[in-house]
Structure 1
Amino acid sequence: MYRLSLRKRVAFAFAICVAVLSLAWGLAFFGAIRLSEDRVLTQQLQVAAQSYPAMTMNLRGYEEVASLPESLREWAQTNPAEGLYEFESDELHVAVIPGNTEQRRAFVVFDVAGIEAASSEDWWLLLVITGVVGTLGALGFGLGVVVMRKAVAPVAQLAKVVADIDPQKLSAEDHKRIESSRFGDDEVGLLARTIEKTLERISAFVERERYFTGSASHELRTPVTVITGALELLEQSDLSVADAKVVDRIRRATLDMKTTIEMFLCLARETDDGLYDKQFLVMPLVNQAIEQQRHLLSGKSVDVEVDQLAKPKICGHPQAFSIAVNNLVRNAFEHTLAGQGPITILIKEHELLVTNQVSALVTNQESADERHTPTGAPSFHGYGLGLGIVQRLCERNGWSFSLHADEARVATRLSW
């Protein structure tokens, strides 16, 4: 259990990492300085030991330019400013300081011959320093990774638990794994509690959806079935022409009601027993839709032209596709006035196109706006509730739906 918040743990981890790295770099620089001092002193002692019993003087002072080493005289005559100078070729270091008078300068010459390291030794020292710096950098990076992993371990644990949960198949074990008490009272615990409550709401929603669709499927279809049976009995009896027309209207209204119920149940279900992977032919469903909606053309003298350029067989939910086609055909039949045909239905390999003529006289401003709706951003208001449902059915099955309307015609396209 973590007593500190995630923010404080990250801050402490960063502070510890910086402190350890600073200490390591400080010790490394201190060791390098001490090593350099010891090396210089050792070199001086070695030079003195080699010249014993005559003791060499590496450090000398000069007040006259003429007394300087010959290699420095020409330079000294230029009256250099006060400061420190280095002559690598002669292995001399010179300090220029004020002399006895303002116009004169004094010189302190330090002969480093035999004391400074050779070039080869410098390269080896550079390699050693580079190796030490690289090692410290790698250790610092590794330390930072370890410390930060420790600090954010609860977040990683929560992310792994959430990634392994399938929202569509929540189980009691999933609720135990996401239990907020496992993550303490810090920010991660708050996030875990929020996710836990969200999963509980999702589970309750899924349960309500299953109960509703199961109950509605039975309660809504039963009256429709009873009405259908009663209509079949009425059709077998001797009916007058007027009564037969009324029964026919009831039969069509019942069929529309059945289609609407199936449509909404199809959209409400989360799963549908694998029917979304079923293969079916397009043409039989188109013919069925035309026959079911043909009564809408009674008395209009409008022809229906079906042009089958291919015989597509698609994969998806056959009932959803049938509902979509029925809506497209019904809207085309309803919005075509007498003598404004033909209605064309074009079947291609990957799309279904339904086109109908519309009246040139616009009597409703809303209809006028609708007819100028561009392809790809359709507004389905005014052409029936079914087109909005068609859009949702297509999204559910991975199909695409578009509508294009102008002053002359309305074209709907269903692609797969």
Structure 2
Amino acid sequence: MYRHSLRTRVAIAFALCVAVLSVAWGFAFFGSIKLTEDHVLQHQLQRASESYPSMPMNFRAYDEVGHLPESLREWAQSNPSEGLYEFEEIELHVAVVPTDNGQGQGFVVFDVAGIEAASSDDWWWLLFIASAVGALAALGFGLGTIVMRKAVAPVVQLASAVADIDPEQLTAEDHRRIEAKRFGDDEVGVLARTIEKTFERISAFVERERYFTSSASHELRTPITVITGALELLEQSDLSPNDVKALNRVKRATLDMKTTIEMFLCLARETDDGLYDEEFSVKPLVNKAIDQQRYLLSRKSLDVDIDELANPKVKGHPQAFFIAVNNLVRNAFEHTLNAQGSITIRITEHELLVTNQVNSDAHEQQTPTVASPSHGYGLGLGIVQRLCERNGWSFSLLADEKNVVARLSW
């Protein structure tokens, strides 16, 4: 449980990292200065002890160029400006200062022979400093990683909990995993509460869907079954031709209602006992759909050409496939006017094509366009689209001024 918000914890984490690194760098620089100072003093003391009992005079003052060491005279005759100069080859440091009377220049020479570190010592010191810098950098990286990991731990914990949840199969363990009280009252807690409420709504919706489909499957099919039984009894009676026509219309309407109910129940079910992985043949379902909708052609001079180029088998929900094909065949039969040519149904290895003509003028050519599945050629095409999406099939409708081609592929 955290008392501060995530933003505050991240800011505190950065502040702690900067503070600790600043202190570490400060001690490192202070230690380097003290080590350098001690190193110089030790060299001076060592040189003095080597010349005991006489003490070396490292600093010497000269008021004339002629009194300077021979190695400096040529340089001094060039009248250098006031300042500090270093001569590494002869290990001398020279300061040029004005004289007391202001009529010339004075020279202070500092002999650093034996005091400055050798080149090999310089490399060792450079290696030591580089090692210290690397160690501090590693310390800062490790410290920053630890602190930041602690700061964002609730976010990582929530992300891991959500990643392990299957939205299609929510369990009681999933709800316990994302309980908001585990994440405090900060921004992560607000996000956890929102996710928890969302999952609760999803669970409630799935439960309602299951209850509805189980109840509706019985309550809606029972009246259809009663009507179908009553119609079968009426068929056995002595009916007039007009009564037979009326009875056939009622039977077709009942069959359409049964198909519609099955279609909506198929879409409403979240799961359907593994029927979406069943393998079935296409041809019998296509023939069944044609036989069911052939009454629509009773008053039309139309032919139905079935072009069977293959006898494929499809993997998915057979009832959903029949509903989709039945809808496409019905639309083709309904929207093709009398004497507008034949309706072609072609079955290939990977697709089903239902083609019907909508214009008898064969000379008028238009550019084909993709029609919207939601309207224009039957309200059921949107449902066909959804059925195909649920089963991993694809559906398209190509329409122009002459033909409409419905393609269902798998």
Provide the rounded CA distance (Å) in 1 between the counterparts of 2:276 and 2:335. 31
Residue of structure 1 in register with 2:216 after alignment:
216
1:100 Cα offset (Å): 4.5
1:393 Cα offset (Å): 1.0
CA RMSD, aligned part only?
Answer: 2.1
1:76 Cα offset (Å): 2.9
Provide the rounded CA distance (Å) in 2 between the counterparts of 1:346 and 1:107. 110
Provide the rounded CA distance (Å) in 2 between the counterparts of 1:313 and 1:88. 93
Judged with a 3 Å threshold, the aligned counterparts in structure 2 of structure 1 residues 382 and 372 are, in CA distance, closer, same or farther, namely farther
Q: Secondary structure at the match of 1:271?
A: coil
Structure 2, unaligned stretches of length 5 or more? none
Provide the rounded CA distance (Å) in 2 between the counterparts of 1:163 and 1:357. 51
Q: How does 1:119-268 map to 2 (within 5 A)?
A: 119-268=119-268
Residue of structure 2 in register with 1:385 after alignment:
379
CA contact (8 A) 1:373 1:379 kept: no
1:12 Cα offset (Å): 1.5
1:185 Cα offset (Å): 2.0
CA contact (8 A) 2:368 2:398 kept: yes
Structure 1, unaligned stretches of length 5 or more? 362-370
1:102 Cα offset (Å): 6.0
Quick check: 64-73 or 121-130, which moved more? 64-73
Residue of structure 2 in register with 1:297 after alignment:
297
Provide the rounded CA distance (Å) in 2 between the counterparts of 1:75 and 1:301. 122
Judged with a 3 Å threshold, the aligned counterparts in structure 2 of structure 1 residues 64 and 175 are, in CA distance, closer, same or farther, namely same
Q: Normalised by the size of structure 2, how large is the TM-score?
A: 0.92
Residue of structure 1 in register with 2:70 after alignment:
70
Number of equivalent positions: 406
Residue of structure 2 in register with 1:357 after alignment:
357
Q: Secondary structure at the match of 1:249?
A: helix
Report whether the alignment pairs 1:398 with 2:395.
Answer: no
Q: How does 1:307-318 map to 2 (within 5 A)?
A: 307-318=307-318
CA contact (8 A) 1:360 1:407 kept: no
Judged with a 3 Å threshold, the aligned counterparts in structure 2 of structure 1 residues 103 and 404 are, in CA distance, closer, same or farther, namely farther
Provide the rounded CA distance (Å) in 2 between the counterparts of 1:310 and 1:101. 120
1:251 Cα offset (Å): 1.3
Judged with a 3 Å threshold, the aligned counterparts in structure 2 of structure 1 residues 67 and 409 are, in CA distance, closer, same or farther, namely farther
Provide the rounded CA distance (Å) in 2 between the counterparts of 1:102 and 1:386. 111
1:327 Cα offset (Å): 1.2
1:389 Cα offset (Å): 0.5
Quick check: 30-39 or 120-129, which moved more? 120-129
Residue of structure 1 in register with 2:96 after alignment:
96
Q: Secondary structure at the match of 2:46?
A: helix
1:379 Cα offset (Å): 4.7
CA contact (8 A) 2:340 2:360 kept: no
Residue of structure 2 in register with 1:14 after alignment:
14
Q: Normalised by the size of structure 1, how large is the TM-score?
A: 0.91
CA contact (8 A) 1:378 1:404 kept: no
Provide the rounded CA distance (Å) in 1 between the counterparts of 2:191 and 2:345. 54
Judged with a 3 Å threshold, the aligned counterparts in structure 2 of structure 1 residues 358 and 76 are, in CA distance, closer, same or farther, namely farther
Q: Secondary structure at the match of 2:80?
A: coil
1:319 Cα offset (Å): 1.0
1:103 Cα offset (Å): 7.0
Quick check: 207-216 or 4-13, which moved more? 4-13
Deviations 1:144-196 (A, max 9, x none): 11111222222222223323333333333333332222222222222222222
Report whether the alignment pairs 1:321 with 2:321.
Answer: yes
Judged with a 3 Å threshold, the aligned counterparts in structure 2 of structure 1 residues 323 and 81 are, in CA distance, closer, same or farther, namely farther
Residue of structure 1 in register with 2:280 after alignment:
280
